[in-house]
Amino acid sequence: MKNLWVLTVLFCLSMPQQEGASDQQRPNILWFVVDDMSANLSCYGETVIETPELDRLATEGLRFTRAYATSPVCSSFRSALITGMYQTTIGSHHHRSGRGQRRIQLPDDVRPLPELFQQAGYWTCMGSGLPGYDFRSQPTPRDRLGKADYNFDWDREIFDSHDWAGRQAGQPFFMQVQLHGGKLRGDSEKANANFVQRVRNELGSTTHPADVKLPPYYPRDPLLLTDWAAYLDSVRITDWHVGQVLQRLETEGLLDNTLVIFFTDHGISHARGKQFLYDEGTHIPLILRGPGIAPGTVRQDLVEHIDVAAVSLAAAGIPLPAVMQGRDVLAADYSNRQAVYAARDRCGETMDHIRSVRTDRYLYIRNFLPRRPHLQPSQYKDSKAIVQRLRELHAASKLDDLSERLLFAPDRPDEELYAYGEDPWQIHNLANDPAYEGVLAEFRTRLDRWIDKTGDLGPESPEIYAKEIADELDVINPASPRFETFRQNAELNKRWAAEGK
């Protein structure tokens, strides 16, 4: 990595001058989209590690403290992001759906953002932001498009390239820098050990597991501590990569005319994080820097990740589609959201149906399948060493009461209500407290209205579930242990559904 900046400068100097000051009219739009990462940044209060590049971005721009994903899993998040629509409205809410024989089409009046940017004359691109390096921040002999992961049919022609370098002189660009983020750490102990060695080689030091601060419902088990330390080091790698891209923009004379937006696609991948609607799964960092944004600004109002789409179009002077549900939170006449919403649906073979509402004071969650456990059988989740260890500790009765109640109860409450600020880890469910009957009634109404207003498409039919499972099994090697685990879990899900569970 130490040689990368030299290579980047040489690359930039070898390029013809692409934009003079007189050509800079419409701003460039650049997104950093990062996998599996919560707001574990210094500027958000993380103290175990430092993130100087992202701190600088926040110091020079605008930081939102209460930005939330409308979905806590990659594909449905990205389907919502790239359209500015709730994934539940456009039928893209079931993770990795519409990929095989069954196809999903967007509504006629909903288009992916790159298509709108292209029509407006923008160069559209998606890659690592660093020529010769990939989404893992490692050297690569072949540059390629970054991660899309949309749950609907789309045309690859909506992207002109993997990078902005090929555009015409003076042409503005819309760039997505896709980074591996929390996925850099491994699912196994061996993979994590390899990553730790990489961090030591490239950054000179690693995070010490003993320094890690875990959420209170995770035991301070050596494996979990080592994993979280590796996760924090993935944040450090991400911070480094962001700094290199910003330096490239500055060297090319583009930084001051580029709206830079940094965010993640949901929270950390863990037992109560990714795929779930607690803050660990849905609270994300959101930082903006660019033309018209006052440095050092901090906003504490509620925003949703689909608002990024509206902000980006508005900054480019592109009219927002009438149906777009994302809002331009930078508009002079913008009125703060009073509530934000999120949804969890099928992930892989694991059926689920959860909805949530957040206001400035409360988080309300409705579990539509309350007879199922929190940690349902899941080929994806159960392949992770941290989940395996949690299951081992549970089987050996070595977890405390809090961990048992939140992670391994045989069922879930119909409703959950948490007081924001007083209960940052969502531990104390107030839904059965008579003192909160009025609050609970208010949130039931809020959620019902949102479901109706947005046309929430809800769960899949048994027939659609069967088709999606068949499509997923078609792409798994039948000789792999993953195949049989996935198949058996799917059969269990079908049986539970037939039993009304």
Q: What DSSP string describes 271-288?
A: TTSTTSSSHHHHEEEEEE
- Alpha carbons within 13 angstroms on the beta-carbon side of residue 13 total 6
Answer whether 366's CB lies under 8 Å from 447's CB.
Answer: yes
Residue 25: what pLDDT? 85
Query: The pTM is what?
Result: 0.95
CATH superfamily name and code, 4-12+24-330: Alkaline Phosphatase, subunit A (3.40.720.10)
- Residue 481 neighbours by CB under 8 Å, 6+ apart: none
Domain residue limits, the chain: 4-12+24-330, 354-498
Q: Which of 109, 108, 111 is nearest to 150 (CA)?
A: 111
The two tokens of residue 240 are 């480094």
**pLDDT, position 15:** 39
Q: In angstroms, what CA-CA distances link 259 with 172, 255, 481?
A: 11, 8, 45
pLDDT tens digits, 4-58: 443 443 344 333 333 333 335 899 999 999 999 999 999 999 999 999 999 999 9
What's the CA gap between 400 and 294, in Å, rounded? 47
Neighbours of 419 (CB within 10 A): 15
Number of other residues whose CB lies within 10 A of the CB of residue 229 = 22
Distances (CA, A) of 41 to 38, 56, 57, 287, 315: 8, 11, 12, 11, 26
Please list the residues that pair with 354 across neighbouring strands.
Answer: 344, 367
Please report which helix (H) or strand (E) contains residue 263, including its range.
Answer: strand 258-264
What's the rounded Cα separation, in Å, for the pair 399 and 405? Answer: 10
Helix/strand/coil for 33? strand
| Integer Cα distance of 289 and 261 in angstroms | 7
Cα–Cα distance for residue pair 501/498, rounded to 1 Å: 7
Residues of the chain under the 50 pLDDT cut = 1-23
pLDDT at 3: 44
Looking at residue 13, its pLDDT comes to 34
pLDDT at 391: 98
Closest CA to 485 of 377, 408, 395, 391: 377
Specify whether the CB–CB gap between 122 and 172 falls below 8 A.
yes
